[in-house]
Amino acid sequence: MLVERSFKAGEATLNYAEGPDSGPPMVLTHGLTDRWQYYLPIMPFLTMRWHVYALDFRGHGESSRTPPYRYLDHINDTISFIKGNFKEPVVIFGSSMGGMVALMVAARRPDLVRAVVFGDSSIKTDRTRQVMIDFHSYWYGWRRLAGFKGPFSELVKLVSEMPVSVPGQGKKTYGEGLDPIPLMNKANYLRHLDPEVLRDWAVGDTDADAFRRVTTGYEDKLLREIRCPVLLVQGNPKKGGIFTDEAVEFAKANIRESYHVYIPEYDHNLGLYSWDTGKLLQAVNVFLESLR
């Protein structure tokens, strides 16, 4: 029931999946290194009541390899997609980087956005810089594996053996403690990723200019311009969530209509990597039904 299509957004061509026309429009925006399939665990549910469109950001999935890959470019691409496809405001459900993009779209073009679901992310650029620093081994390692052209089984092995070093995480390789399924999942995303997406991320821990390039277009102060309701979904920082309690308070102080839910069972990916989505669906469904 999902059909993949393409949309020309300026110099970039965006790939997206469209569900059946079951209600008002909803746009899904994924995180860094992912693609629209990130939302597959919850799309059957969402498509029951909404007309769902799930994007691949430029450089990700089947979208064109069209640098630069700044927040600004993803924000402008999403605005172009909404303007080019809909005659009414949309709901945007964004996770990780896609959540930050969703907030900026709502802030810059409040006329285009009916509501936002914001999934565990950095919301403040100083926190984004800290994520660049703490997870440097991930950005560096994933850049080396992105766009891999060899056998899939070899890529899965390389993902598993990728050296990592994250404060407080305690493991030495990405695959430590994981069975083959999440490793296959990550390998699937990486082989459909332009390595240039991670060029600045891989050096942003020490290169302030690289950090500024990546975050161009995201402005904390613009959160006050958001006019629509926002559901803030927070994962557990002890399990890898990056939406800290301090950031939650900042969001609540700056977004005029926000609703915060903390789901301690979840890490940064809110159960979408593990397909354990019951708590997420409960929170999102109640929020979405309030809009009908």
Q: What is the pLDDT of residues 115-124, one digit of tens each?
A: 999 999 999 9
* pLDDT mean across residues, the chain: 97
Indicate the class that CATH gives domain 3-129+216-289: alpha beta
- Confidence class for position 170, pLDDT limits 50, 70, 90: confident
Write down the pLDDT at residue 175.
96
Closest CA to 289 of 82, 41, 6, 23: 23
Q: What is the mean pLDDT of residues 40-61?
A: 98
Q: What does the alpha-carbon distance between residue 224 and residue 19 come to, in Å, rounded to a whole number?
A: 32
The domains of the chain are located at 3-129+216-289, 132-211
Write down the pLDDT at residue 1.
82
Q: Note the maximum CA span of the chain.
A: 50
Cα of 259 vs its chain's centroid, Å = 19
Predicted model pTM = 0.97
- Confidence class for position 168, pLDDT limits 50, 70, 90: confident
Write down the pLDDT at residue 58.
98
How crowded is the C-beta side of 56, counted as CA atoms within 13 Å? 27
- Confidence class for position 151, pLDDT limits 50, 70, 90: very high
Closest CA to 186 of 99, 274, 263: 274
CA distances, 81 to each of 25, 57, 228, 255, 262 (Å): 12, 11, 19, 24, 31
DSSP-derived 3-state class of residue 42: coil
Determine which helix (DSSP H) or strand (DSSP E) holds 258, and give its type and residue range. strand 258-262
- Confidence class for position 169, pLDDT limits 50, 70, 90: confident
Q: What is the mean pLDDT of residues 217-228?
A: 97
